[in-house]
Amino acid sequence: MANSIAPRPGFDWTAINWGGPDEPRTEHCSYCGDALDEESVPLILWTKSGWCAEFCDHCIATWWGGQSFDEAPEPRHEPEIRQRLRNAKRGDGDG
């Protein structure tokens, strides 16, 4: 018996940017548009007519329950880097 995969409640099927059967594989998440990480394996859905959608890690975790993202801390910049970014944004200093 094949387990059909189903997204969590709230998933918007109309938000998927489906790739056509004749189009090359996308390099971006079909749901949020983020670039897909080459080193991770995206979730790929295929329709009967050959259309496909690929999901990034984050969308997999959010909508397909691939990982327990709930408890994972958000990636944060080191304070030092944040400071540098802030300086860069202000554009002052010896540029």
* Site residues (vs Zn ion, CB under 5 A): 29, 31-32, 34, 56, 59
Contact 18, 44 (CB under 8 A): no
What is the smallest separation between the CB atom of 36 and Zn ion, expressed in angstroms? 8
34 vs 83, beta carbon nearer Zn ion: 34
- Which residue is listed with tokens 């400071």? 83
Contact 34, 58 (CB under 8 A): yes
The most distant pair of C-alpha atoms in the chain lies apart, rounded to whole Å, by 66
27 vs 34, beta carbon nearer Zn ion: 34
16 vs 59, beta carbon nearer Zn ion: 59
What is the smallest separation between the CB atom of 41 and Zn ion, expressed in angstroms? 14
